Structure 1
C-alpha cells in the first residue's frame, strides 16, 4: 500500500529490525537500536511539525543481506550524504546502481524503489527529506513566480556530489549533540543552509561555451570523473583524461567546464576535500598522512585548502570531533 513519506518513515525502523529507545527519544526525536539478532547500530529520526521535513541519521551493520521495497504516494525530495559504499538501489525497472560516498539527490516520482544492503558491511548516512510542499514553499519565496520545478536543483546536486560546503553541513547535522527544541532549531537552520547553497550553485552564471554535448560526450565525461575518483592521490594529465573521454584535449576542457561548471582539477580538489572530512573523522592517520593519501605532499598546502573550503583547519576540525 502506498504511504505518505511521514507515515512510511515512522514505520521504517521497525521494518528494518530496529527497536525504539524510550530514554533517548522525545519531542519529535526518535532513537532506535538494531536488534542483536539482525545486526548492530543505531538509527535516529527527527521529525518537524506534521512531517514536511524529516532528518535521518543512521549507522548500522546488518548480519544478513536485506532488501527494502517502498512505494510512496507523496512527492518529496531526498538529499543524502553517504559515508559508506555498502548499499545499492534501483527505481522502477532501472538497473541496480551502487551508492557511492558523497551527496546523493533523489526526487520521488511515485515509482517503486528497491534498496539493498550487504551483510557484515557498515551503512552510514545522513538524510534530509523534504516534501514537495516544503521544498516548493522555500523556492517560491526565493524565486517568486519564476519558480517552476525542483528538477534544476536535482541536476545541480547530481553534477556536484562532492561540493565541500554541502558535505560540511551534513557533517554538522550528523555531529549535533543538542536536544529538544534546540536540536530542531539547529537542524532546520542547517537544512535552510543546504537549500541556500543549492540556490547559490544554481545561480552561478553559466559561461558561454559554444561546445555542444551529446549523450556519448556526457558518458565520456563521467568516465573521467570515475577515473579521478578511483585514485584521488593521482594527478592524471589533461591528455590522459581527454583520451579516457574520447575527445581532444582542448574539447575535453571545454566540455568538462560546460557540463560540470568547473575545471577537472577543481572537481578533483572537491572530491579530495570531501574525502578529507571523512578520513580526519574516521581514521587515526596523522595530518601529513591524510594529505599524502589525497595527493598533497605538502601538508601545509593541504591545510590551507582545507581551511579555505571549511573555514577551519584540519587540526581544529579533529578537536571539534573530539579526536586528538
Structure 2
C-alpha cells in the first residue's frame, strides 16, 4: 500500500509508459509524452511546494485497454473534470462504474481501486488532488472545528456535477499558459475559487423543502437525469419526467430540488451549456450548429444563456482562446 497520494501520482507516469519532456519540465511540474509503443498524447503534473496539492492534466489515447490498480493509505480528496467517457472504475469488490463527462468527486477509502482506460479512445481529464491537511485547513477557516469533514462536499458535487461555474474554473485551469511560480500562484487561486464555489452551493438551504426522500425516490430521480443527459436536444415535459420517477408533478419538482438543489430545467440547461463549452473549444462547429446540438434552435437565445453562465458570449470565448 502506498502511503502518500502525491508520491503515487508523481510516479504514475512511468508506470503508464510516459516519458518526461525535459524542456517542458522544471521545479514546478513536469510534462510527459506517452511512448509511441503504448499510445500517444501527454500528461502534465503541477506540484506545489508543501506537497498538499497536486494538479494533473491529461490528453492521451492508449493503444490497448489497461487497468491501473491503486491502494493509498493517506486520506485525500480528488475533484476532477472528465471531458471523455472512456474510463471506468471499481472500489474493492463493488461493481464497475462508468466515468461520465463532467465533475467527479472521490474520497480515498484506503481500499484497492481499479481504474480501466479503453484502448483506442481519448482520455482527457483535469484532476485536483487535495490532501486531508490542505482540505481541513481550508474548510476549518470557514466552518470552524466542528465541520463534517469531506461528506458535505462529496454529496454536493455528486448531486451537482454540471454547475457551469465549476466547469469554467476547470477550463481556466486547463487553459492556463503561465509558467513557473506564476503558474502555481494562478492555479492555487483557482483551486481556492473552486472550493469557495462549492462552499457557496453547500450553504443553500435545501433542508426546508417539505419532502422526504428514500432510496427508491433518489434512484428514480437519477433515471430522469440520465434521460436528459442522453438526449440534450429533447424537451421532456415536467409531467413526463414525473411519470418516469413515479411521482406526481408537484412532488417530483420538490424532490428534484431537494436532492439536486435546482429545478429539472436548470439542471438540463447546465448540462447543455457545459457540453457547448467543450464543443466551442474542441470543435470547428459554428455557433448556430453548436446551439442546435445542445438543444437550442435560436442561437441568440443560446448566446445569452452562455454569457449569463460564463460571463462572456460564445464568440468572445472563442476569441479569448484564439479559436476562429
State the 1:207 CA deviation. 5.6
State the 1:219 CA deviation. 0.2
Secondary structure of 2:129 counterpart: strand
What is the CA–CA distance in structure 1 between the aligned matches of 2:145 and 2:131, rounded to whole Å? 20
Does the 8 A contact of 2:163 with 2:270 survive in 1? yes
Structure 2 residue 179 is matched with structure 1 residue 196: no
Matched with 1:112 is 112
Matched with 2:83 is 83
Secondary structure of 1:219 counterpart: helix
Matched with 2:122 is 122
Matched with 2:306 is 306
What is the CA–CA distance in structure 2 between the aligned matches of 1:142 and 1:42, rounded to whole Å? 37
Structure 2 residue 171 is matched with structure 1 residue 163: no
What is the CA–CA distance in structure 1 between the aligned matches of 2:49 and 2:156, rounded to whole Å? 28
Does the 8 A contact of 1:224 with 1:244 survive in 2? yes
Does the 8 A contact of 2:85 with 2:100 survive in 1? yes
What is the CA–CA distance in structure 1 between the aligned matches of 2:101 and 2:319, rounded to whole Å? 23
1:245-268 residue CA offsets vs partner (Å, 9 max, x unmatched): 111212111111111111100110
Name structure 1 gaps, 5 residues minimum.
none
Structure 2 counterparts to residues 177-256 of structure 1, below 5 A = 177-206=177-206, 208-256=208-256
State the 1:222 CA deviation. 0.2
Matched with 1:67 is 67
What is the CA–CA distance in structure 2 between the aligned matches of 1:104 and 1:312, rounded to whole Å? 25
1:281-305 residue CA offsets vs partner (Å, 9 max, x unmatched): 1111110111111111111111111
TM-score by length of 1: 0.98
1:212-236 residue CA offsets vs partner (Å, 9 max, x unmatched): 1110000000000000001101110
1:62-92 residue CA offsets vs partner (Å, 9 max, x unmatched): 0011000000110000000000000000111
Matched residues, number:
324
What is the CA–CA distance in structure 1 between the aligned matches of 2:148 and 2:227, rounded to whole Å? 35
1:27-78 residue CA offsets vs partner (Å, 9 max, x unmatched): 2211100000000000000010132000000000000110000001100000
Does the 8 A contact of 2:257 with 2:263 survive in 1? yes
Does the 8 A contact of 1:27 with 1:181 survive in 2? no
Does the 8 A contact of 2:165 with 2:310 survive in 1? yes
1:79-111 residue CA offsets vs partner (Å, 9 max, x unmatched): 000000000001111110111000000000111
Matched with 1:19 is 19
Does the 8 A contact of 1:256 with 1:264 survive in 2? yes
Matched with 2:102 is 102
Structure 1, 287-296 or 115-124: larger mean CA deviation: 287-296
TM-score by length of 2: 0.98
What is the CA–CA distance in structure 2 between the aligned matches of 1:211 and 1:19, rounded to whole Å? 54
Secondary structure of 2:212 counterpart: coil
State the 1:208 CA deviation. 2.1
State the 1:209 CA deviation. 1.9
Name structure 2 gaps, 5 residues minimum.
none
